[in-house]
Amino acid sequence: MKKTVLIMILFAGMVIGGCATHNDPRDGGFFGGVAGLSGGSYKKRVAEREERLEELRAAQRALDSEKGQLEVQKSTAQAQLNKDQARVKAMQSEIAALDKKTKSLAASQVTDKQRVADLQKRVVSLKGKMNQQASSLDDLEGSGLGDVDMDLRRKQLEKQRDSLRREYDLLMKMQIELAQ
């Protein structure tokens, strides 16, 4: 009986000892924990953990800041896109008005029929290009392009819109001249 109790105590000791592979008491080891408390390595461990924690917090802050920047960028891009879409829509209305005026000009007793026909053709072409601009802007998100190429597409559309604006101004001038 005594022998059995002794074996059990020894076995229990081995089990407890088996847990004590770390010096940090927070790791749950009993002997190591006590040894850590008495040997000063507990404070060292705490300091190390705090340092690690601070590193993690710094990384989290950097991620938060990056996320914030991305959100600002996204919202700026969205605002720019909304602005571009509004501009294109306004130009579509202006071109529609120009188209209407040109049609009425064609129906009137204007002398230079050839120039009016040419103007009409160019207005129709401009209208088509402007509609394509509008749909390209609408499809910008989810176009499958990466960030750099999407940014490039935005710049190309912007420049093309400016170019179409100049073409519109020219056609408007032609229309006024022909109407006089």
Partner 1 sequence: MRIGSLLILAVTVVLTIHTAAQSAPLDEIRRVLWEDALVQPDPGALEILDESSLPELLKQIDPYARYFTAREYRSPTTRREGWLGIGGELIVGSGGIFLSVYKGGAADIAGVPDRSKLLEVDGKTVAGLEPQAVAALLKGAEGSIVHLTLDLPDERQSSVALIRTAFKPLDVELVPPGDRQVLRIREFIAGMTRPALQATIDFLARKGAPINGSLILDLRDAGGGDLYEAFDLADLFLPPGTLLGKVQTRGGEFTEIRASPGKKYLMPVVLIVGPGTASSAEIFAGALHQQGRAKLLGQQTYGKCSSQTDTHLSDGSVLRYTNREVVLPGGSSCSGAGLLPDREVSDAELIDIVLLVGEVDSLSVTE
- CB of residue 143 to partner 1, shortest distance in Å: 5
On whether the CB atoms of residues 167 and 98 are closer than 8 A, the answer is no
Nearest partner of 36 among 47, 22, 49, 50, judged by Cα: 22
Burial of 122 (0-12, 13-18, 19+ CB in 10 A): middle
- CB of residue 164 to partner 1, shortest distance in Å: 7
Segment interacting with partner 1, rule: CB under 8 A, options 11-19, 47-55, 65-73, 129-137: 129-137
| The only residue of 48, 51, 149, 177 in contact with partner 1, by rule CB under 8 A | 149
Overall size of the chain counted in residues: 180
156 touches partner 1 (CB under 8 A): yes
User: CA 109 to CA 106: how far, in whole Å?
Assistant: 8
Segment interacting with partner 1, rule: CB under 8 A, options 16-24, 63-71, 75-83, 131-139: 131-139
User: CA 173 to CA 62: how far, in whole Å?
Assistant: 55
Q: What is the residue type of 91?
A: M
| The only residue of 125, 141, 169, 173 in contact with partner 1, by rule CB under 8 A | 125
24 touches partner 1 (CB under 8 A): no
Binding stretches for partner 1 (CB under 8 A): 125, 128-129, 132, 135-136, 139, 143-145, 148-149, 151-153, 155-156, 158-160, 162-164, 167
